[in-house]
Amino acid sequence: MAQSLSSPEQKVPDPKTLSHKQEAMIQACKDGRVDILKTLFDELGAKSSDDSTKHFEVPQEGPPATRTLFAAAISHGQQSIVRCLHSMYPAFDFYTGAVVGALLKRTFDLDMLQLICSYSPDVVTFEYSDNMTSILSKACEGGAENAPFVRILLDHGAFESGMRGSYTYRVGAALLPAVQYNQPLDIIKRMASKTTQLFYPIFSAIERRRPDALEVLLNARLKLSRDDYDLTLAQQLLGDAQATQDKQLIALMEQYIESLEQQSSKSDSQSTDQTPKDGKKWWPVSTRTEKKDEKAKDSSSSAGGSGSAKSWWPLSKSGNNPTPASEQPVERQLDDSSSDEDTTKHG
């Protein structure tokens, strides 16, 4: 009688179950036992420079997933193991959640972060699939004690060109937790200078009652291009500040609104100065007149020679006899937008 597939003899191995030697390799990574790790690599037939194992299921033969080995070493601060693994898998891509998660478990281990950055600089831009949470935002959520870790991320370009694939970093996706979790001002300044939409971080600074951060963010916002909606948003934020009854927050928002109004007034004034008082086109009348005089002379000279050429001068300048439209096309185009008759009236 045939045995069913569910019988013990025919049971399919669980692909997530580690073999004894695979478990031993992971433990060696945690313990910093380079000697044991190398011995196990030899026993399992792994060779230096082999392609790293990236798949999520545990391989049935050979070493476990490479990211698992690196994560075990990083999370336990074993730099010697990390170097050993990197010599085995020099092409390993550290831009993976397992590595980032291990780094975030030891944000006090700055040497480990520097080591990983030396192998893979773009790890500092790692972002999760929600396109908002990143290694930078998670580090900021750890509070001010994570500031040294955050500074290294920034030094290596975590906020220079945005996270890989991100479309939210410019609207404060990483700056927001920096404000919420009391990161120092120097960090907030660096991130604010790269953020184009600061409404939520500003609101958070008010909500958290951080006048120091609010001042930095408002100054950064004033350096950006104005939007017609800015003043409306500022009034709303002033209302939020007033609700806290914090005099510093209220004063900062009032000063910000005053600065916005001054910018608006200055912009309107400049716009008025650049607009001609009579509302005409920008070309000067004198230039047009000089060109007409030159053309008139040329036309007169030509007429004297042939006796058949006519002047192109418009009716308002040449008398009451109409000139055929075909002989003055350029002047008709100009007169449609700014006629010489209008110039005479305003003169």
pLDDT band at 266 (very low <50, low <70, confident <90, very high): confident
pLDDT of residue 276: 53
Please state, in angstroms and rounded to a whole number, the distance separating the CA atoms of residues 59 and 53.
8
Q: Using the structure block, give the residue that is written with the tokens 């399919």.
A: 12
Structure confidence by residue, pLDDT tens digits, 225-240: 877 788 999 999 999 9
Please state, in angstroms and rounded to a whole number, the distance separating the CA atoms of residues 118 and 102.
17
Residue 187 belongs to domain spanning: 127-272
Mean predicted lDDT score pLDDT of the chain = 77
Structure confidence by residue, pLDDT tens digits, 289-309: 454 455 555 544 444 444 444
Mean pLDDT score, 253-279: 74
pLDDT of residue 49: 59
Q: How many domains does the chain have?
A: 1
pLDDT of residue 329: 43
Determine, yes or no, domain membership for 192: yes
Element of type H or E holding 244: helix 230-244
Q: What single DSSP character describes residue 250?
A: H
Top-confidence residue, 267 or 34: 34
Please state, in angstroms and rounded to a whole number, the distance separating the CA atoms of residues 79 and 29.
10
pLDDT band at 13 (very low <50, low <70, confident <90, very high): very low
Determine, yes or no, domain membership for 319: no
Determine, yes or no, domain membership for 293: no
Whether the per-residue pLDDT at 221 is higher than 60: the answer is yes
Q: What single DSSP character describes residue 146?
A: G
Determine, yes or no, domain membership for 228: yes
Top-confidence residue, 47 or 259: 259
Q: How many CA atoms lie within 13 A of 67 on its CB side?
A: 17
pTM for this prediction? 0.70
pLDDT band at 28 (very low <50, low <70, confident <90, very high): very high
Mean pLDDT score, 44-67: 69
Top-confidence residue, 90 or 14: 90
- Within 10 Å of residue 49's Cβ, how many Cβ atoms? 9
Top-confidence residue, 182 or 12: 182
Percent of the chain with pLDDT over 90: 52
Please state, in angstroms and rounded to a whole number, the distance separating the CA atoms of residues 336 and 139.
65
Determine, yes or no, domain membership for 155: yes
Determine, yes or no, domain membership for 230: yes
Determine, yes or no, domain membership for 67: no
Q: How far is CA 268 from the centre of its chain?
A: 30
Percent of the chain with pLDDT over 70: 65
Determine, yes or no, domain membership for 174: yes
pLDDT band at 75 (very low <50, low <70, confident <90, very high): very high
Structure confidence by residue, pLDDT tens digits, 312-345: 334 344 444 444 444 444 433 434 444 444 444 4
Mean pLDDT score, 114-123: 96
Mean pLDDT score, 48-77: 77
pLDDT of residue 277: 53
Mean pLDDT score, 76-81: 98
pLDDT of residue 265: 79
